[in-house]
């Protein structure tokens, strides 16, 4: 059996977890509500302030993989509705900037035009601009999967390039730099 799948998931106070007969698990908390379909071969037990996942056939490799996967998905749902998730992205480059107006993001990334992205209602955005530093875009949500997809979409507008390091990167991400052309000596 999966080592991750065997670990119980603690349910914090203020979070309600329910399992429907058609194998949907719903997690409700102060930040929102999330729902996930679970494979019928995996049994979910909700009792005593914790969630445990069990499988019938520990010899089935596919089922063992799903055991850990569903445990991680449910754990992310519980953490998301209780605490939420945050992703910070740094916009590196001269003249590169981002403006937030409600659910609409406007990027100036060195193209001849501005790029616009409308965020889903589950995601809240904030732009932090400090003089002398790169602008930082902060994304917050209770849905980790959706937050990651939106962050990757934003990064795809201008991925960091290896020569000057310009582009959109995650805060703390290390971009491998390449040496440029070297002048030939005569």
Same domain, 95 and 70: no
Q: What pLDDT sits at residue 148?
A: 95
What gap in Å lies between CA 26 and CA 22, rounded to an integer? 12
Q: What pLDDT sits at residue 186?
A: 58
Domain assignment present for residue 44? The answer is yes
- What does the DSSP assignment read for 105-163? EEEE-SSSS-EEEEPPTT-EEEEE--TTS--EEEEEES-HHHHHHHHHHHHHHSPPPTT
Same domain, 19 and 75: yes
Domain assignment present for residue 182? The answer is no
CA distances to 147, 171, 186 from 124, rounded to whole Å, are 10, 18, 57
Domain assignment present for residue 43? The answer is yes
Q: What pLDDT sits at residue 60?
A: 84
Domain assignment present for residue 33? The answer is yes
Q: For residue 163, what are the contacts with CB-CB under 8 A and spacing of at least 6?
A: 177, 178, 180
Count how many domains the chain has.
2
Q: What pLDDT sits at residue 31?
A: 92
pTM equals 0.86
Same domain, 104 and 44: no
Domain containing 130 equals 85-170
Residues in the chain with pLDDT values less than 70: 1-2, 183-186
Of 82, 98, 128, which residue constitutes the final position of a domain?
82
Same domain, 7 and 65: yes
Of 29, 61, 82, which residue constitutes the final position of a domain?
82
Q: To which residue do tokens 């991400």 refer?
A: 173
Domain assignment present for residue 141? The answer is yes
Angle between helices 61-82 and 144-157 (to 10 degrees): 90
């Amino acid at each position: 059996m999966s080592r991750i799948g065997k670990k119980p998931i603690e349910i914090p106070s203020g979070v309600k977890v329910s399992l429907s007969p058609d194998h949907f698990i719903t997690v409700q908390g102060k930040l929102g509500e999330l729902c996930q379909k679970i494979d019928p071969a995996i049994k979910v037990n909700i009792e005593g302030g914790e969630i445990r996942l069990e499988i019938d056939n520990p010899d089935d490799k596919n089922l063992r993989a799903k055991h850990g996967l569903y445990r991680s998905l449910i754990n992310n749902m519980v953490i998301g509705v209780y605490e939420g998730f945050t992703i910070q992205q740094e916009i590196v480059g001269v003249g590169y900037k981002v403006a937030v107006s409600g659910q609409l993001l406007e990027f100036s990334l060195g193209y001849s035009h501005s790029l616009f992205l409308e965020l889903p209602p589950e995601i809240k955005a904030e732009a932090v601009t400090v003089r002398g530093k790169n602008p930082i875009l902060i994304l917050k949500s209770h849905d980790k999967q959706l937050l990651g997809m939106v962050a990757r979409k934003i990064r795809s507008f201008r991925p960091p390039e290896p020569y000057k390091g310009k582009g959109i990167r995650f805060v703390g991400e290390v971009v491998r730099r390449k040496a440029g052309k070297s002048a030939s000596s005569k």
